[in-house]
Amino acid sequence: MSEEILVSTFTAMRRKLLQLATHYAADSNEADDALQDTFCRLWPQRDRIESNREAEALTVTTLRNLLIDKHRKRKIKTVSINEEHDTYDDDDNSKEELFNEVEEIINKELTPQQKDILESKEYRGETLEAIATRLNMQPTAVRMQLSRARKKIRECYRKRSTI
């Protein structure tokens, strides 16, 4: 019975899932791969899925997490194109080390929700309202989680730099 729930839910949602995957993936092949990987990851859990609603939630969450992992592996780094802030610095290695330290703090110290909110706001430029809608939260709660995440990063970085 659970096998049918997973297959029917996945089939019914395929178009929406592909649209979501295409939005975050580098190309359509990566989006297709992410969908297939999502189904393969859920298949061993098929006996524990009891409803279509549960299958939908697991599918969307698994796909989103998989795409976030793929995004992190690509390690896309953003660079300011604002000319007044652009400066040439011979010490590119120290910037790279700083970036890696902060990234390590984010991966080790923040909760998955804080990481998602921080990435959505800082890397993808989503508004707090859009993030709140997607995560089914109040905008004030999103703002608080973002504030806590930034504070945690600052505290951890200060501790590391004083050692």
Give domain limits for the chain.
2-74, 92-162
pLDDT of residue 89: 52
CATH of range 2-74; options 1.10.10, 1.10.1740, 2.30.30, 1.25.40: 1.10.1740
Tell which CATH architecture fits domain 92-162: Orthogonal Bundle (1.10)
pLDDT of residue 85: 46
pLDDT of residue 27: 77
pLDDT of residue 83: 47
Under 8 Å between Cβ of 91 and 82: no
List of residues 6+ apart from 50 with CB closer than 8 A: 2, 5
Mark the ranges of the chain whose per-residue pLDDT is less than 70: 1-2, 74-93, 163
pLDDT of residue 114: 92
